[in-house]
Amino acid sequence: MQNHWNEGDASRCATDLALRVYSSRLIGRDTSMVLHGGGNTSVKTEEPDRFGETRRVLWVKGSGWDLETIEEAGFCPLLLDHLIRLAQLPALSDPAMVEELATHQTRAAAPAASVEAILHALLPYKFVDHSHADAVVSVTNTADGEARIREIYGEDVVVIPYVMPGFDLARAVASRFPLEATPRTQGMVLMNHGIFSFGATARESYERMIALVARAERYLQQHAGEIKPPAAPADIELPRLALAELRRDVSREAGNPMLLAANRTAQALAFVRHPDLSRIARYGPATPDHVLRTKRLPLIGRDVAAYAEAYRHYFEEMSKRAREAKTMLDPAPRVILDPELGLCAAGRSARDCAIVRDLYEHTIDIILAGESLGGYRALPAQDIFDVEYWDLEQAKLKKSGKPAPFAGEVALVTGAASGIGKACVDALLARGAAVVGLDIDPAIERLYERQDFLGLRCNVADGAEVDAALDRMLEAYGGLDMLILNAGVFPGGRRIEELADAEWRKVMAVNLDANLALLRECQPLLRLAPRYGRVVFIGSKNVPAPGPGAAAYSASKAALTQLMRVAALEWGGEGIRVNALHPDAVFDTGLWTGEVLAARAAHYGLSVEDYKRKNVLKTEVTSRDVAELAAEMCGPLFAKTTAAQVPVDGGNDRVI
Ligand code: ZN
């Protein structure tokens, strides 16, 4: 545990709120204390209201903000005295508490306050810091956790038994804290939850947090010794189909497509192959904060249906309450531990998967530490359900938008670094899909820095490279729903009498043979797609209307179109839809430099602008136009269409 306080940086903070932002970020950058929006901080200030009267304000972290990157706008100012009065009520339902918080903030545009706001209000210190530090939770989540915490901290912290976050926890603190706090008190430990520190200054509160967590870390080092899972056996080949089957099963129980990210690092494999896995992983998440993100207990093995059945059965009480709320928690697992597949994280988006994976990696550390302290103890299942159910209630209070049409689905685009392929990547990302882009140009690897995009340098005509790329796709997202066959080459014009075999074969290898291989390798994945697979072939106007000097290109695209029609016939029985579109004269691609365009326009005796619109509608066709149609062909509009060939060319009089 490192103290990152820098007095120079701190002295540049002119206000209490600026200091609050500064030290919140120091805590946020330490992943062993807070992860993905976990933890929260606050500061109490005074400010005049519209009438010049002074009022006390609690600035508390707003939901949706991460401590690591928080700004002043990420804090919600609340009327402090109102919160303190609320804590004296004998009871307050969670929706009523959320209502009180929302109607007692002093800035309309502020984010919603953390549900731990009342707790912050109650602690009689200017600065309050709260984290779910792994080391502290590792100690609290053991059979004799409370005794150990008291052994570590003595009178320096107040200990509060586990109570679900929300009003009841604030009540518990309101009644216990004043009785147990002494002048020595520097912090508060919430069992199975985390730790608070506080102080008169931002520095005091921050440094107490660091020191308190460091004491738990030292205790673990002394009492738990070296915590290492047994070494994992040598790695095995990625079982692609098993992963895609697991994703299909999870999606089925979730009621919508889900992504599945497989973590097969040495640490993850060692844990999922732990000889005692079925006992140590039987417990659920380590803290309520984790429950909100990883949800429920992990599935051990791959029997998703049995897990879902047990989940429904176990939470009969939940079902009743969920029915009352006219909604249902889906019974699909979010964490799956399988000796062969590794640690798999399921989620509706790549970001959700990453959060689940990161949190469970920390859970593994906490479980192993707890085990070496004599036995890990997680929250009881009923408490886990209570938190999850409560989260559902909170979600209902927020206005939830319609999910993106391709949320939870995976698309593979070839030739994705530029032109139509890149535009397809954009169109699919915009519709919520996770996208894997392949291109022979290494620039593909840096096309986008985002969790829902994976750019892989790959020569699609090389079977081994395609095989490796499909493995990467499966590890990242768990399957394949949409395949956009776009990669192709267009050699310069050459008449048949001058066309060499080598050039002919090269065009066929990329435009035709590579696509056959891709289709063959992807079919087993597409047939497992939760909403059935879709394939879009980027054909060409040259198929219905070939041009002189393009024998190899036109023949390859015509053969590709015939391949599309056969695929539609062969795979229709499995629900896989296969369609083609035929673009023409798309000039915003790398192929068409200004010079080439000018030369072609001059050849026809036209201006460049007129040349670009040389079609029936006199309109320019862009990469984006083609990509939007390709994406729509994967969507519900084309749900009943297969083997279609749709032109996207502004109308061509030779075709019409
Ligand atoms: Zn908390």
In this model, does residue 422 exceed pLDDT 90?
A: yes
Question: Ligand 1: distance of its center to the CA of 53 in Å?
Answer: 33
Question: Ligand 1: distance of its center to the CA of 321 in Å?
Answer: 25
Residue 267 pLDDT class (50, 70, 90 cuts): confident
The DSSP result for 117-171, as a single string, is HHHHHHS-SSEEEEE--HHHHHHHTBTTHHHHHHHHHGGGEEEE----TTHHHHH
Question: Ligand 1: distance of its center to the CA of 100 in Å?
Answer: 20
Question: Exposed (0-12), middle (13-18) or buried (19+): which is 340, by Cβ within 10 Å?
Answer: middle
How high does pLDDT run on average in the chain? Answer: 89
Q: With respect to residue 397, please indicate whether it lies within any of the assigned structural domains.
A: no
AA letter at 110? A
pLDDT in tens, 573-598: 999 999 999 999 898 876 677 888 88
Pairing of strands 157-160, 187-190: parallel
Closest CA to 58 of 70, 40, 71: 40
Residue 237 pLDDT class (50, 70, 90 cuts): confident
- The pLDDT value given to residue 234: 58
- The pLDDT value given to residue 280: 81
Q: Which of 360, 376, 553, 611 is catalytic?
A: 553
Query: What pTM does this model have?
Result: 0.86
Q: With respect to residue 402, please indicate whether it lies within any of the assigned structural domains.
A: no
Beta bridge partners of 187: 157, 197
- 378 and 427, same domain (yes or no): no
- 78 and 110, same domain (yes or no): yes
Half-sphere exposure of 70 (CA within 13 A, CB side): 36
Question: Ligand 1: distance of its center to the CA of 23 in Å?
Answer: 17
Number of compact structural domains in the chain: 3
Q: With respect to residue 593, please indicate whether it lies within any of the assigned structural domains.
A: no
- 367 and 423, same domain (yes or no): no
- 17 and 122, same domain (yes or no): yes
Residue 38 pLDDT class (50, 70, 90 cuts): confident
Q: What CATH number is associated with residue 162?
A: 3.40.225.10
Beta bridge partners of 407: none
- 218 and 360, same domain (yes or no): no
Average pLDDT of the segment spanning 506-523: 96
| Structure-token pair, residue 15 | 């206000």
- Residue 157: CB atoms within 10 A of its CB come to 25
Residue 289 pLDDT class (50, 70, 90 cuts): low
Q: At which of 224, 259, 278 does a domain end?
A: 224
CB 158 within 8 A of CB 180: yes
- Residue 115: CB atoms within 10 A of its CB come to 22
Q: With respect to residue 230, please indicate whether it lies within any of the assigned structural domains.
A: no
- 54 and 121, same domain (yes or no): yes
Closest CA to 22 of 68, 86, 81, 78: 68
- The pLDDT value given to residue 134: 87
Look up 307 and say whether it is catalytic.
no
- The pLDDT value given to residue 569: 98
Q: With respect to residue 13, please indicate whether it lies within any of the assigned structural domains.
A: yes
Residue 326 pLDDT class (50, 70, 90 cuts): very low
Question: Ligand 1: distance of its center to the CA of 69 in Å?
Answer: 18
- 259 and 347, same domain (yes or no): yes
Q: What CATH number is associated with residue 580?
A: 3.40.50.720
Question: Ligand 1: distance of its center to the CA of 85 in Å?
Answer: 22
- 448 and 385, same domain (yes or no): no
CB 466 within 8 A of CB 517: yes
- 294 and 360, same domain (yes or no): yes
Question: Ligand 1: distance of its center to the CA of 225 in Å?
Answer: 27
Pairing of strands 342-347, 410-414: unpaired
- 66 and 148, same domain (yes or no): yes
Query: 325 is in which domain, residue-wise?
Result: 240-391
User: Residues within 5 Å of ion ligand 1 by Cβ?
Assistant: 194
- 57 and 15, same domain (yes or no): yes
Q: With respect to residue 508, please indicate whether it lies within any of the assigned structural domains.
A: yes
- The pLDDT value given to residue 314: 63
In this model, does residue 228 exceed pLDDT 90?
A: no
Torsion angle of C-alpha atoms 338, 339, 341, 342, degrees rounded to 10: 80
- The pLDDT value given to residue 233: 60
Hey, is 85 helix, strand or coil? helix
- The pLDDT value given to residue 507: 95
Q: At which of 224, 254, 285 does a domain end?
A: 224
Q: With respect to residue 656, please indicate whether it lies within any of the assigned structural domains.
A: no
Q: At which of 224, 257, 272 does a domain end?
A: 224
Half-sphere exposure of 144 (CA within 13 A, CB side): 8
Q: With respect to residue 430, please indicate whether it lies within any of the assigned structural domains.
A: yes
- The pLDDT value given to residue 35: 66
Question: Ligand 1: distance of its center to the CA of 195 in Å?
Answer: 8
69-72 contacts, C-beta under 8 A, 24 or more apart: 69/25, 69/28, 70/21, 70/24, 70/25, 70/28, 71/21, 72/17, 72/18, 72/21
Question: Ligand 1: distance of its center to the CA of 132 in Å?
Answer: 6
Residue 393 pLDDT class (50, 70, 90 cuts): low
Q: Which residues contact 92 (CB under 8 A, 6 or more apart)?
A: 86, 100, 167
| Mean pLDDT comparison of 108-112, 293-297, 365-369, 437-441, highest-scoring range | 437-441
- 245 and 220, same domain (yes or no): no
